Amino acid sequence: MRQVTDQTAQILERGSFETRLVCDVMHGSERVAADVPLTDWQWAEDLTAEVKSSGSATIIASDPFGRSLLAQGTAGIFSAFRASVVISQIISAGGYEERVQLGWGKVTENPRGEDTVVGDIVASSLVPIVWDGLDRVIHRHGFSSPETPPQRGSAWNEVRRISGRPIVQNVPDVVLPGGLVWEAKKGGRLAAVQKLAELLGGRMVLTARGELTVAPAQLGPVVGTLRLGAEGTITQIDTEIKTDGVYNRVVGIYEDSNRNPITVPPVEITSGPLAVGGPYGVYTEYHSSDAVRDRAAALKAMNAILENSVGGQNYQVQIQCVTDPRIQINDHIRVEGAGLSGRVLSVSRSAAALMTVKLEVPRVMR
């Protein structure tokens, strides 16, 4: 959860404030423009996406020398060939305000813009921009040829090496298994980073400061609360139940260190409402992992997949509420007045006063 002052937290919980979005424009490590107002903006975060954040906005700005600010190929401060943006949301009430940094983005598109010309000068430029999170930079980089980690002693060191980004080491380090090979393919470097995150026990995400860190798969403690009712900020809540991902049978496909198949029987649920012989039927998941190199590890991995699936059926709750810059993906949020809590899977914000939060909520099945 993004941190704010106590005063801002109280303002957000009352739900009565004004907000605006601004960005700093970066060319590499150089800040070329600061506090640029953004209009008609959208910002989305999705824990399940390959690139976990994206956004778009329109900039209306003037050059002090009366020149166009539209991107011209690789030229222009907002050009997708040069610009990154640091996005911040400003919360204000009365004479008080706080700036909350949401995250970094790499500008990927410059949709058609427009200049307003007065005489011989450009009075203002309307500049639309589209950006992705900085994980897009890792995705684009790729590997020139297949690579094996030069050392196996630290997954975090390997994340740092292949990503080139600063890290926040928030979970215990692990030794890498033998046989890992990073593929030379489109998106291969980001896939390697996510593989390392899996070994560390979660998904790799970017902090608001642009650092890589792990969003743990195990749900952590509640870090924030949204409230229903007259004193709350929730305006709508919808629930949906899906059986996708609720497996009752797991088949393992593994190889030992010599690339010989590891033979293990499927693991199954044989009693209760999700039994393979019951009305639910058979729902098979197939699992493989380079981290599994013997039969004991195979059975442990398969049972973990099965337990995670049927130990608690997850369902999704979509919430519309007053915008709150503190909330981010993988936060554990309690919904007061609804008797539930869950993991934030996605957050969608815009220039409107409301945002949409999707929670993954566990329902105990046995």
Residue 193's pLDDT is: 98
Query: What residue ranges of the chain have pLDDT lower than 50?
Result: 366
Q: What is the DSSP letter of 263?
A: P
Domain with CATH 3.55.50.10 in the chain: 139-216
- Transcribe 180-225 into DSSP letters: --B--STTHHHHHHHHHHHHHTEEEEE-TTS-EEEEESS-----EE
Q: Nearest to residue 303, comparing CAs of 273, 339, 267? A: 267
**Block residue for tokens 């009752």:** 248
Beta bridge partners of 137: none
Structure tokens at 304: 């973990």
Q: Which amino acid is at 273?
A: P
How many C-alpha atoms does 184 have within 13 Å on its Cβ side? 6
Angle at 207 between CA 334 and CA 30, to 5 degrees: 150
Q: Are strands 340-350 and 354-364 parallel, antiparallel or unpaired?
A: antiparallel
Return d(Cα 298, Cα 29) in angstroms, integer: 46
Q: Are strands 96-109 and 114-118 parallel, antiparallel or unpaired?
A: unpaired
3-state secondary structure of 62: coil
Residue 208 CB coordination number (10 Å): 17
- Transcribe 216-255 into DSSP letters: ESS-----EEEE-STTSSEEEEEEE---TT--SEEEE-EE
Residue 312's pLDDT is: 55
Residue 345's pLDDT is: 97
Report the chain's mean pLDDT, rounded to a whole number.
Answer: 93
CB-count burial class (<10 Å; 0-12, 13-18, 19+) for 206: buried
Per DSSP, which regions of the chain are E strands?
18-27, 30-46, 53-61, 83-93, 96-109, 114-118, 121-132, 202-206, 212-216, 224-227, 234-240, 249-252, 254-255, 261-262, 267-268, 284-287, 312-322, 332-336, 340-350, 354-364
CA 283 from centre of chain: 28
What superfamily in CATH does domain 139-216 come from? Baseplate protein-like domains (3.55.50.10)
Largest CA distance in the chain: 81
Q: Nearest to residue 240, comparing CAs of 119, 61, 361, 73? A: 361
Residue 354: partners with Cβ closer than 8 Å, 6 or more residues away: 235, 320, 321, 322, 323
Beta bridge partners of 320: 236, 356
Residue 272's pLDDT is: 83
